[in-house]
Structure 1
Amino acid sequence: MSTFYRIAYRLDFHPWEDAAGHPPFVEKIAELLDHEENGREPPYGRALDVGTGSGIWAVELAKRGWQVTGIDIVDGALRRARDRVQTAGVDVRLVHGDVAELHAVGVEPGFRLVLDTGTFHGLDSAQRHAMGREISAVAADDATVLLLAWTPQRRGPLPRGVSYGEIETAFPDWDVTDVGPTHFEAPKPVELLMNPNERWYRLRRE
């Protein structure tokens, strides 16, 4: 998948960014974040945006009062993210690295929130287990993981998706809750081709 994203950003092709302009999607992710922030005052703590891409949600987290680190393996995506962070005037640490090898790029423990808006579901089985292990190592004891995933289906070079059970397998020490659809509506040709059926999952340590 990393090769696909490298080519996509080189060609300036990144339709997944359209979700930021889709009110139902934005309202759903805001609802999930509101839940994590309820009863607390900013700063809320450290947040890790895995597969941050162009930094859309890393910037949003920073605006809300989180201390944010965004990680991605695609140079083109990180260049867009740096521009976005600078334009927004927020403080976000951007790291070039593999989400399955967080320790190798100096991502230290203590994150109260981990956000994944579409990375895990595109990995192979070994990478998923590695990502689950790495996130478990850097997440605080009271951390929450918010994970967006497509349901499983063959989609050629695009993410094949992941089942509830596969998420549980990769995160054996976490309780996984399906918290509903993302409400993102892709353009009809894209919807028919990919049938993503996007869902949000909330993970909390057992």
Structure 2
Amino acid sequence: MNYEFAYGIGFHPWEDAVEEPLFVERITQLFEEEERDREPPYGRALDVGTGSGIWGIELAKRGWQVTGIDNVEKALQRARDRIGTTGVEMGLVLGDVTDLRASGIDPGYQLILDTGTFHGLNREQREAMGREVDAVAAPDASVLMLTWEPKRRGPLPRGASRSEIEAAFPGWTVTDLGETHFEAPRPVELLLKPDEHWYRLRRG
């Protein structure tokens, strides 16, 4: 999907997830599980494909030291505006998720969040993203990844299976955490059948 074009014409329906109570409840539960038995500040979090920064900002509010990376300047400008209105601290990087280190992302992230980037990449890009995440993740890191189930959807993300995630992240244990509970508008749901799932990846 051409996200630069989408943001250029103001098309970003994925931002509507923040208005979906069940989706928000589920992602909040996942954040809480990563924070269990710990006190803020929780450590460094990397929001890959951050877009307008919605979920990176939520992590920052909770006590994470957050960096968001995206390759679309218009998306990052929306993120800057959001950060300005919320008053949180969150770093933003214009860069490529398949080449994190060249984009200035250094190692040591305890949490990596992907709310829809990996599942839109081709095989070579996924392998590159897996290598880069592995390089910048802390030894005890977790990855929280949202993907659609695989299906041809024209120019939209085709999705990714658990086995495809495992192939791109060798050495990580992948756990299917179930549906995201995002409720797309009925026509969109019938047309795309996203069947969104959360996955958790941990080393070992």
Q: Secondary structure at the match of 1:77?
A: helix
- For 1:94 and 1:6, locate their aligned partners in 2 and report how far apart those are by CA, in whole Å: 17
What does 1:165-180 align with in structure 2 at a 5 Å threshold? 165-180=163-178
Q: Secondary structure at the match of 1:69?
A: strand
Match of 1:62 among 48, 60, 67: 60
Could you say which residue in structure 1 is the equivalent of 2:71?
73
Match of 1:53 among 51, 54, 60: 51
1:77-118 deviations in Å (ceiling 9; x for gaps): 001000001111010000000000001111000000000000
- For 1:163 and 1:13, locate their aligned partners in 2 and report how far apart those are by CA, in whole Å: 26
Could you say which residue in structure 1 is the equivalent of 2:97?
99
Could you say which residue in structure 2 is the equivalent of 1:121?
119
- For 2:162 and 2:141, locate their aligned partners in 1 and report how far apart those are by CA, in whole Å: 19
1:158 aligns with 2:156: yes
Could you list the structure 1 runs, at least 4 aligned residues long, displaced by more than 6 angstroms after superposition.
none
CA RMSD, 1 decimal:
0.5
- For 2:56 and 2:163, locate their aligned partners in 1 and report how far apart those are by CA, in whole Å: 28
1:10 aligns with 2:23: no
Could you say which residue in structure 1 is the equivalent of 2:129?
131
- For 2:62 and 2:149, locate their aligned partners in 1 and report how far apart those are by CA, in whole Å: 29
Q: Secondary structure at the match of 1:105?
A: coil
- For 2:121 and 2:100, locate their aligned partners in 1 and report how far apart those are by CA, in whole Å: 15
- For 1:107 and 1:82, locate their aligned partners in 2 and report how far apart those are by CA, in whole Å: 18
- For 1:59 and 1:110, locate their aligned partners in 2 and report how far apart those are by CA, in whole Å: 19
Could you say which residue in structure 2 is the equivalent of 1:21?
19
Number of residue pairs matched by the alignment = 204
- For 1:143 and 1:85, locate their aligned partners in 2 and report how far apart those are by CA, in whole Å: 25
Q: Secondary structure at the match of 2:112?
A: strand
Q: Secondary structure at the match of 1:203?
A: strand
- For 1:197 and 1:105, locate their aligned partners in 2 and report how far apart those are by CA, in whole Å: 32
1:171-199 deviations in Å (ceiling 9; x for gaps): 00100000010000100111111100000
Q: Which runs of 5+ in 2 are unaligned?
A: none
Q: Which runs of 5+ in 1 are unaligned?
A: none
Amino acid at match of 1:156: G
Match of 1:187 among 178, 185, 198: 185
Q: Secondary structure at the match of 2:160?
A: coil
Q: Secondary structure at the match of 2:102?
A: helix
1:89 aligns with 2:113: no
- For 2:172 and 2:59, locate their aligned partners in 1 and report how far apart those are by CA, in whole Å: 23
Q: CA deviation at 1:35?
A: 0.3
Q: CA deviation at 1:204?
A: 0.3
Could you say which residue in structure 2 is the equivalent of 1:198?
196
- For 1:8 and 1:194, locate their aligned partners in 2 and report how far apart those are by CA, in whole Å: 17
